[in-house]
Structure 1
């Protein structure tokens, strides 16, 4: 049989616990093949690595390596069971003949072997996505990594590649999104240096609009209030009004941002004195942080979906595609902000996989994000 995709083999999936029902499906499948070994031809693509149990992996590997005896010999002598046991035992030292007989007893009907194999494949898909999601969470959340953005995007690309591979092995059907609640975005410490950078950028944009800000969206800001103020700034410009701290404050009032705990004088102070901020550099930093935050949240989201056994495999794949599509959108804006021309050229040469979701069309730039004359 062909070997599994190399991108899946980088993780030891035997360390990932299977869903409860998968264990019994593995037993039933192996029992069916011990009873009627010729049924292995009807299983479709199935690899030993698809099994969650190391002993089951060794038994199936033996079955795919050995040649079954002729049917008339198989029905009269236990040659097949003995051969499988001898071949699998070096890789599964605790394996016994009694356990193989237990596998036989665990099979309700050998004719249902293809259905059992489908469950095994689905369980492997869940464990694989879970392992790659955990890797993405670790990579995107480790600031000590050298070139963390590249490492996080590489992990996301590998997750997308594995998703495409697994989707090709499983039945194609439309599905709804998982019912599992997606994890909330992390709350930023108000004293964090990133929050101060965002405040300075808002003040700088009120004083000196710049084209670099065209790649920003309100959701990119770590502090929700800053994202709301950036939306106010865009709204003022879309109306054709001049942009400055006072006009943005007026729009903020309409959005309900002025409260007893955030009086207008304090809000106005946040929108002034941005002379020390380099807007282009600040935009790049905010987009870089937004991309890493989205990558981390994407990993957590896929992990939450994979850990919830009530989600069907179709829901898991659909939810993973949606999460990756959201990351792809932020990724492209960050890359274009860094170097717009090469990023657009690379996008034409290597289009994003449709399974990962295309980036949304960019909004028409407003004059506030064009260079001031």
Structure 2
């Protein structure tokens, strides 16, 4: 007959209500093992660190410190229970004999111990995936790093390896995509430095359009300001068609693309592309660098949203996270195309730091005030 959980209060083990389902799975597993210690032999993939409650993890670790007792002797003599309790107390002082008996009482079916263990592993996977996503978001936002793009790529590789490990631990099932509603992506970084770099790219590309033919790694969506991205498309279209490129031809192309509005006058647009400084490739790399960090932050937020939804199974978390990483993987590939091919090696290439000799220190945009207004 299954045991029915009774009403009880834990002894200094719960941080704050309400208790989550995994708490009861942890209690049920520990109760099953206290009743039938020989079942420890079937719980081989579970580790103490998988438990959400540290006291539960300490108790599980204590159970594995020595051999399981003889089943017949265990029924008559609680010596093994006392040994486990003494071994766990240094890590979990709040544990007492009363709580061990509570664990035994609330275990519905000791035969279901392996299932309870899978539940605990699944919840641990959710917590760890969120931790990886948070680490990615923090790295993407850390302005103190000497090369944030390299650090972000390293975090992405770590996250990808973790997802691969999880895929081997949890079986797939129908309905693999998360059904969690996603929040809108965060707003793009439109601070003055980012906009200056985009203005300088447009102006320098107008002055040196031949370089655009080798900059297929940069796309309009990489720009912080959509207008700047559309003007970049104007420039690349002219260059790839072999048409002349100057402020007037760019204006004409922009008109055909419907970019001239009451806020963007022809004179403003021509002023925007008429103050070249440095190399288009230099500014393009800066823009792509910002886009990589922005996309990494957005991907991290998306994965965090998945992990916040307890309805998602581990397989759904894996599938949703891989889908979220796909766009970042494509952008990363474009970023790596801006670096020279490294020597033959199995390791991925590390992005290079833009060479400062291409262009001097970042100046303020020399465009008239009307052009500055047009890009806001």
**TM-score higher than 0.5 here?**
yes
- 1:141, CA displacement in angstroms? 0.6
Cα deviation, 1:7-57, whole Å, max 9, x if unaligned, reads xxxxxxxx9x99821111111111111122222333341111111111000
Counterpart of 1:227 in structure 2 is 229
Q: How many residues align?
A: 332
> For the residues of structure 2 that align with 1:185 and 1:245, how far apart are their CA atoms?
33
> For the residues of structure 2 that align with 1:235 and 1:304, how far apart are their CA atoms?
39
Please list every run of 5 or more consecutive structure 2 residues that lacks an aligned counterpart in the other structure: 1-14, 350-376
Counterpart of 2:312 in structure 1 is 311
Query: Could you say if the C-alpha distance between residues 265 and 58 of structure 1 is closer, same or farther in structure 2, counting changes exceeding 3 Å?
Result: same
Counterpart of 1:197 in structure 2 is 197
Query: Could you say if the C-alpha distance between residues 106 and 251 of structure 1 is closer, same or farther in structure 2, counting changes exceeding 3 Å?
Result: farther
Counterpart of 2:90 in structure 1 is 90
Residues 1-373 of structure 1: pairs in structure 2 closer than 5 A: 20-173=20-173, 175-189=176-190, 191-209=191-209, 210=211, 211-236=213-238, 241-270=243-272, 272-339=273-340, 341-342=341-342, 345-346=344-345, 349-350=346-347
Q: Which segment is superposed worse, 241-250 or 226-235?
A: 241-250
> For the residues of structure 1 that align with 2:147 and 2:19, how far apart are their CA atoms?
36
Q: Answer whether contact 1:63 1:84 (CA < 8 A) is retained.
A: yes
- 1:350, CA displacement in angstroms? 3.8
- 1:285, CA displacement in angstroms? 1.2
RMSD value, Cα? 2.8
- 1:77, CA displacement in angstroms? 2.2
State TM-score, norm by structure 1.
0.80
Q: Answer whether contact 1:149 1:292 (CA < 8 A) is retained.
A: yes
Cα deviation, 1:309-347, whole Å, max 9, x if unaligned, reads 2322222111221233322222222222122x228x55x
Q: Answer whether contact 1:212 1:337 (CA < 8 A) is retained.
A: no
> For the residues of structure 1 that align with 2:19 and 2:118, how far apart are their CA atoms?
14
Cα deviation, 1:118-152, whole Å, max 9, x if unaligned, reads 11111111111111221221121111123322222
Please list every run of 5 or more consecutive structure 1 residues that lacks an aligned counterpart in the other structure: 1-14, 353-373
- 1:240, CA displacement in angstroms? 6.2
- 1:212, CA displacement in angstroms? 4.2
Q: Answer whether contact 1:18 1:123 (CA < 8 A) is retained.
A: no
State TM-score, norm by structure 2.
0.79
Q: Answer whether contact 2:188 2:294 (CA < 8 A) is retained.
A: no
SS at match of 2:84: helix
Q: Answer whether contact 1:233 1:243 (CA < 8 A) is retained.
A: yes
Q: Answer whether contact 2:235 2:250 (CA < 8 A) is retained.
A: yes
Counterpart of 1:370 in structure 2 is none
SS at match of 1:62: helix
Counterpart of 2:367 in structure 1 is none
Query: Could you say if the C-alpha distance between residues 19 and 97 of structure 1 is closer, same or farther in structure 2, counting changes exceeding 3 Å?
Result: closer
